[in-house]
Structure 1
Amino acid sequence: NLFYSQGLDPKSPRLLDDLNSNPTQQANLTYNRPPNLPLKYYQERVKSLSEQAHQLEDQISRRSPDFRTANQSVTIEAIQKLIPANTALVELVKYQPFNPKAKKDQRFGPPRYAAYVLHSQGDPQGIDLGEVELIESDLELFRLSLQDKGTRTAQLKQAARQVDQRLMEPVRKLLGSTRYILLSPEGELNLIPFEALVDQQQQYLVENYRFSYLTSGRDLLRLSQESASQTAPVLLGNPDFDRSAPELIANQNHGNLPSAHLTRSIDLSKLDFSPLPGTAEEVKAIADMLGVDPLLGAKATESAVKQINSPRILHIATHGFSESAPNQEQSTLYDNPMLLSGLVLAGFKQKRTGAENGVLTALEAVGLKLSGTELVVLSACDTGSGRISSGEGIYGLRRAFVIAGSQTQLISLRKVEDKATKELMLAYYQRLLDDNMGRTEALRQTQLDMLKDETYQHPYYWASFIVSGNWRPMKN
């Protein structure tokens, strides 16, 4: 785990090796349960590996100066200095009101959302947004409307407007003329694209505002200290789920699973996969722009991803998954929420029991070498999702690639259609590379163009992705 290893003393390589191998052991145990192993012993093994990881992290963190620095408290003044002019940091938080005068069992009220707004100058401002239950009920309706391209525009806009009235309309009163928002949502608010909300004039917010997503305001400290990698980009796409390149993978046990429909999403309970030919075309075209050779088919392996060393750009186009609500039996096995999100890569259907099983979980992604990587693009489904943990952001691939060291993540929040994603990605890279646009603005301009296109004007197509992290143009 590079996050812990930065500045690590030279006496600790064995601890680090043990920590780096632990996520793979957990992932393999989760997705390839040994046959004939009683459930009781299986659960004990899962628990033992999880406890071992926590112990290793504790030992390593004591030896890592960078880890201690990252966990020091920060002041509002320190963060405020890093907010650009004409920009506001907006943190949306969940809290429980407390009344010390009420009866003991009635002192805590129902959970509520609040917003805190901080400009580059002036005092922070706060505003209550209402009860969590009411807001999240509207969020669910909005999300369902976005997921169905058959939803009438008027119906979708009504759902989007309802959410905007509860969340962003009150915040806009504190923004003044500011149009650039560094947004740090909490809880279920992480799962919606704020760009697709609708204001009083029936316009999508993307038409008048620029959003960059952060896990918290303290991200600004990390982003201000980053350096850019000079290593060539790495692109993977259209993995061959039936097989993987033998020179890249060992310890293979073969098995067969049924195929599924053509969408960048999977249901782990069924373990169905289908080829995604659009991702091959997407990755080839982007690789031509970047002047590199992509890893396609049997070469798009989990092992290949784990061997990368701080590429300038990492682009992975494949199936993604996020299981936010495991059933009761699963919850005892998947105690680590970072095992509930991941990417599916070459050779998965071989159901290997060795070191690599064709699934890169979020837990394993944490250990990738991405320090200096300016952009990670996860062109898959549900890569921005994960189990909700109040105050801790999203436990999923989004969090994992931040911890691994990447500066910016372009990630999806829900099911993504293959062809539309290809068009969006090609337009995004063209603006990013040829026009030298900022990493957020390149996506926004692409979304605005799609909004004008009759084929893609429904938010189902253009509001699938968000940019999290560094919003500025790439340095190289």
Structure 2
Amino acid sequence: MDTGLIYRLLSIPVTLLFSVTFDLQMAKIPVEMPTGSAQIPPQDRTSQASQLYQVGVGQYRQGELQKALETFQRSLVLVANGKPQDKANILNYIGQIYHSLGQDTKAISFYQQAIAILKQTGDRTNEGITLSKIGLSYQSLGQYSKALKFYSSGLAIFKQVGDKSPDSLVRTGEGITLTDIGGLYKSLGEYPKALRFLEQGLAISREVRNRSGEGVALRNIGEVYDDLEQYPKAISFLEPALKIAKQDRDRSEEAATLLSLGRVYNNQGQEVKALNSYQQVLTISQKLGYRRIEGATLHEMGTVYQNLKQYPKALKLYQQVLAITIEQQHPPAEALTRTSLGSTLLQTGQAAAAAKMLLTAINIWESLRPGLTDVYKVSIFESQAQTYRQMQQALIAQGKNNYALEIAERGRSKAFVELLTLRLSPNSQNPPNIKPLTIDQIKLIAKKEKATLVEYSIVSDKLLYIWVVQPTGIVSFKQVNLTSTPLTELVRSSRNSLGLRGRGIPTNASIDAAPQVSKLKQLHKLLIEPIAKLLPTDPNQRVIFIPQNELFLVPFPALKDQNDKYLIEKHTILTAPAIQVLQLTREKRERLGGGTFASLQGKDALVVGNPTMPSIITKSGEKPQQLATLPGAEAEAIEVAKLLKTKAMTGKVATKASILQQMKKARVIHLATHGLLDDFKGLGVPGAIALAPDNTGQINDGLLTADEILNLNLNAVLVILSACDTGEGRITGDGVVGLSRSLISAGASSVIVSLWAVSDDSTEFLMTRFYENLRQNPDQAVALRNAMLTTMKQYSRPLDWAAFTLIGEP
């Protein structure tokens, strides 16, 4: 298990970065520290407070935290009626000590007192510094949205003050805060964004010659590359960071960097070097009272012994760490430690004890997500998914198969479910409490959908769980051992074997059918054969697949059994990212109302085909490139528009602005154009639809991006993206983050998207058959199946008919 993503970022106390900004703001009188403050003449109180302050600074820098705390508290008494600035400085130091001791709630209370004083005195620079300190404490408490809020407030002050009066102290604060923000994005798994902020922080720290800030930025960058498994690059940043920490005699930062180096060594399989680094960290942290660093180090040592299968040693270390995380009131570290304990207990055959430990971890993880934006919920869930997988294994080991399904469902598409629930809530300011589905609710959803639900859970590289929930309420479980080709590789090679092309490319390439059939049969054997007898015998009864991770890219209709029958020939197929998403799209459809195919035509239909193509830039600095025209898509749109009794919007008429306006009121939306997979805005929501430019002069004018779709309010019962790769995106533990997710979140109750680059001729044929079928039967899943079967006769290769999948309410 990769423990670094959570532990490193949330357990290591702040270094001395901010403390240097206060050192010169009180008088420096080199006399001995007084033994008490009673009966001290008023004129002497300020000078003695200053003396205590300097002694406290020295103690703090030497890592003597408890002594420093006592000294600062005595100094605080002496300045009670003195200069407000002096009092604010001492309050900040006390807050910083409590943060270093892992007592962040106390730290925040002292920082808040300092903020009140700094606002009164108009000291904007130190106000910004203190706001950033509060952000760091909230980050340690796992309250990420609050942390970002305070970091952003601090950064805004630095920029505002710096613009009016450039100052090295202001630039120092700005650099440190940028580094802190980068660290937070790292803990959320947003690595590109983390690197951008960290590199900015590093540049400023070097500019103002803030060696301590430079070292922390270097360490954080090294940790990002460690998480990205670029180990030599990680070491190239961590080693100079360690050198700076030693030169500055910053014991806290030295320990933090040694801990990160140990992790890199461990990830490279160099257990002896890793344990040597960890032992050095323990020596520092135990001597100086850095309990969180001590806990993080013991945890990392536990992972070494767990990987070496020395389970008693690992369990002993994890128990020590658990006590520290509870003592320090550090929820993220506690959840991670409970996951490690649960994993080890499971490996030693203690499934019941493991399940108890893991369930507590899951409850903690879920308490950390409120307040985060959707993108960050998705990112942070990546670091938490392991707990849900281990919990499933613990329950299956006890024969609690149905409960394991509840956990499997609970551990997927959490952010998606929360986003949909918020959108469906009549009061978005006070959204309802989202409860996980119970097994009885899952059975009821299968009954209401009149469908057989098939949920997959990839537990490990060698283990796949499958649950089948029939509309009758019968729940079955199958376990598949993945002993041959890794599933990821098999899915990738099966897609490659299809000979994927793109819109606008003629369908005249010759493809060897032999490897294509072989791969599709291998996938069928793993994914379908174990449950084949549990699927309905009536081909018109729906089967809804709930994939996970790379299984979202599986062309289920094209999977082939040993009798050379495609799956679509035997079943009506849909997909969904989670069972709970099905429940929510059904609710949305019921609110929109039903309606026959005829009632959804004319003014309620929007059809777009081959708009005047925009010029796009996918990378900074490159020249714009105009997308190729799609005459086949235009022909498709014209035919579809006839069937929907409306007029197709093509060419320069199909501008982004005009399409957006009509999308908001349309009940059926058909877009035949280019689909793109890039994250054009760097917001973590990839995907875009090409429309005609509005001539705004902006970069990528004409692209309707997935993040823009996410913010729409749609009333469509069906959206068809007849474009390339529109069902793809960023594969996450929360499902596929891309166009399909954005459309459903925006209000569409069902979408049809493509799993690869589709060709013009076969797509036009398939889509016209689909709408013709809808005239006979309003069930979109049945209409799509019959369209595929008809297209198969004209275009025999799966490449030409199996790309499209229906997601949501049929």
- Structure 1 length-normalised TM: 0.70
Q: 2:713 aligns with which of 363, 369, 380?
A: 369
Whether the 8 Å contact between 2:375 and 2:684 is mirrored in structure 1 is no
- Equivalent residue, structure 2, for 1:189: 551
- Equivalent residue, structure 1, for 2:488: 136
Whether the 8 Å contact between 1:79 and 1:221 is mirrored in structure 2 is no
What SS does the corresponding residue of 2:579 show, helix, strand or coil? coil
Pick closer, same or farther for the CA change 1:281–1:122 going to 2, 3 Å.
closer
Q: Give per-residue Cα distances to partners, 1:412-456, cap 9 Å, x unaligned.
A: 111111122111111111111x21241011111111112222xx1
2:497 paired with 1:145: yes
Which aligned pairs between 1:13-92 and structure 2 lie closer than 5 A? 40=200, 65=427, 68-69=431-432, 71-84=434-447, 87-92=451-456
Distance 1:187 1:157 in 2: 23
- Equivalent residue, structure 2, for 1:412: 754
- Equivalent residue, structure 2, for 1:278: 632
Distance 1:378 1:465 in 2: 9
Pick closer, same or farther for the CA change 1:440–1:136 going to 2, 3 Å.
same
Whether the 8 Å contact between 1:90 and 1:182 is mirrored in structure 2 is yes
Distance 2:550 2:433 in 1: 26
Distance 2:776 2:744 in 1: 26
Q: Give per-residue Cα distances to partners, 1:311-357, cap 9 Å, x unaligned.
A: 1101111110114xx8xxx9xx83x331x211111128x68328x82
Distance 1:319 1:270 in 2: 16
- Equivalent residue, structure 1, for 2:664: 309
Q: Give per-residue Cα distances to partners, 1:260-287, cap 9 Å, x unaligned.
A: xxxxxxxx99744111111222112211
- Equivalent residue, structure 2, for 1:237: 609
- Equivalent residue, structure 1, for 2:809: 470
Q: CA deviation at 1:195?
A: 0.8
Distance 2:459 2:559 in 1: 23
Pick closer, same or farther for the CA change 1:65–1:125 going to 2, 3 Å.
farther
Q: CA deviation at 1:199?
A: 0.7
Q: CA deviation at 1:233?
A: 0.9
Q: CA deviation at 1:189?
A: 0.7
- Equivalent residue, structure 1, for 2:522: 162
Distance 1:136 1:163 in 2: 11
Distance 1:40 1:398 in 2: 34
- Equivalent residue, structure 2, for 1:27: none
Whether the 8 Å contact between 1:82 and 1:221 is mirrored in structure 2 is yes
What SS does the corresponding residue of 1:387 show, helix, strand or coil? strand
Whether the 8 Å contact between 2:613 and 2:626 is mirrored in structure 1 is no
What SS does the corresponding residue of 2:561 show, helix, strand or coil? coil
**Which letter does structure 2 place at the counterpart of 1:124?**
V
Whether the 8 Å contact between 1:235 and 1:314 is mirrored in structure 2 is yes
Whether the 8 Å contact between 2:612 and 2:691 is mirrored in structure 1 is yes
Q: Give per-residue Cα distances to partners, 1:170-214, cap 9 Å, x unaligned.
A: 121443747531111111111121010111212111111111111
Q: CA deviation at 1:90?
A: 0.5
**Which letter does structure 2 place at the counterpart of 1:352?**
G
Q: CA deviation at 1:219?
A: 2.8
- Equivalent residue, structure 2, for 1:347: 693
**Which letter does structure 2 place at the counterpart of 1:120?**
P
Q: CA deviation at 1:147?
A: 3.0
Whether the 8 Å contact between 2:585 and 2:750 is mirrored in structure 1 is no
2:784 paired with 1:443: yes
Pick closer, same or farther for the CA change 1:303–1:451 going to 2, 3 Å.
same
- Equivalent residue, structure 1, for 2:157: none
**Which letter does structure 2 place at the counterpart of 1:83?**
A
What SS does the corresponding residue of 1:442 show, helix, strand or coil? helix
Whether the 8 Å contact between 2:586 and 2:749 is mirrored in structure 1 is no
What SS does the corresponding residue of 1:116 show, helix, strand or coil? strand
Distance 2:604 2:624 in 1: 37
- Flag structure 1 segments of 5+ consecutive residues without an equivalent: 1-38, 45-50, 97-109, 243-255, 259-267, 472-476
**Which letter does structure 2 place at the counterpart of 1:145?**
S
Which aligned pairs between 1:379-418 and structure 2 lie closer than 5 A? 379-390=722-733, 392-418=734-760
Whether the 8 Å contact between 1:239 and 1:345 is mirrored in structure 2 is yes
Q: Which has the higher helix share?
A: 2
**Which letter does structure 2 place at the counterpart of 1:228?**
G
Pick closer, same or farther for the CA change 1:138–1:70 going to 2, 3 Å.
farther
- Equivalent residue, structure 1, for 2:458: 94
Whether the 8 Å contact between 1:196 and 1:205 is mirrored in structure 2 is yes
Q: CA deviation at 1:370?
A: 1.4
Larger Rg: 2
What SS does the corresponding residue of 1:198 show, helix, strand or coil? coil
Q: 2:568 aligns with which of 203, 206, 212?
A: 206
2:673 paired with 1:318: yes
Distance 2:538 2:784 in 1: 20
**Which letter does structure 2 place at the counterpart of 1:300?**
A
**Which letter does structure 2 place at the counterpart of 1:165?**
K
**Which letter does structure 1 place at the counterpart of 2:544?**
L
Distance 1:311 1:183 in 2: 28
Distance 2:659 2:436 in 1: 34
What SS does the corresponding residue of 2:676 show, helix, strand or coil? strand
Count of residue pairs the alignment pairs up? 374
What SS does the corresponding residue of 1:113 show, helix, strand or coil? strand
Q: CA deviation at 1:217?
A: 1.0
**Which letter does structure 2 place at the counterpart of 1:463?**
A
What SS does the corresponding residue of 1:126 show, helix, strand or coil? strand
What SS does the corresponding residue of 1:278 show, helix, strand or coil? helix
- Flag structure 2 segments of 5+ consecutive residues without an equivalent: 1-198, 205-371, 377-414, 501-508, 595-599
Q: CA deviation at 1:118?
A: 0.8
Which aligned pairs between 1:85-124 and structure 2 lie closer than 5 A? 87-96=451-460, 110=461, 112-124=463-475
Distance 2:375 2:791 in 1: 45
- Equivalent residue, structure 1, for 2:593: 228
Distance 2:665 2:445 in 1: 25
**CA RMSD, 1 decimal:** 3.5
Whether the 8 Å contact between 1:114 and 1:127 is mirrored in structure 2 is yes
Q: 1:337 aligns with which of 674, 684, 691?
A: 684
Distance 2:374 2:550 in 1: 28
Whether the 8 Å contact between 2:446 and 2:473 is mirrored in structure 1 is no
Whether the 8 Å contact between 1:87 and 1:178 is mirrored in structure 2 is no
Q: CA deviation at 1:239?
A: 0.9
Pick closer, same or farther for the CA change 1:312–1:118 going to 2, 3 Å.
same
Pick closer, same or farther for the CA change 1:296–1:40 going to 2, 3 Å.
farther
Distance 2:468 2:697 in 1: 49
- Equivalent residue, structure 1, for 2:478: 127
**Which letter does structure 2 place at the counterpart of 1:198?**
K
Whether the 8 Å contact between 2:765 and 2:791 is mirrored in structure 1 is no
Whether the 8 Å contact between 2:706 and 2:742 is mirrored in structure 1 is yes
Whether the 8 Å contact between 1:147 and 1:415 is mirrored in structure 2 is no
**Which letter does structure 1 place at the counterpart of 2:786?**
Q
Whether the 8 Å contact between 1:88 and 1:178 is mirrored in structure 2 is no
Pick closer, same or farther for the CA change 1:291–1:86 going to 2, 3 Å.
closer
Q: CA deviation at 1:240?
A: 0.7
The structure showing larger relative contact order (alpha-carbon pairs under 8 Å, at least 6 residues apart) is: 1
Distance 1:53 1:83 in 2: 28
2:648 paired with 1:294: yes
Pick closer, same or farther for the CA change 1:52–1:387 going to 2, 3 Å.
closer
**Which letter does structure 2 place at the counterpart of 1:316?**
L
Q: Please identify, of 403-412 and 70-79, the stretch whose mean Cα deviation from structure 2 is larger.
A: 70-79
- Equivalent residue, structure 1, for 2:579: 217
Distance 1:362 1:163 in 2: 30
Distance 1:128 1:351 in 2: 55
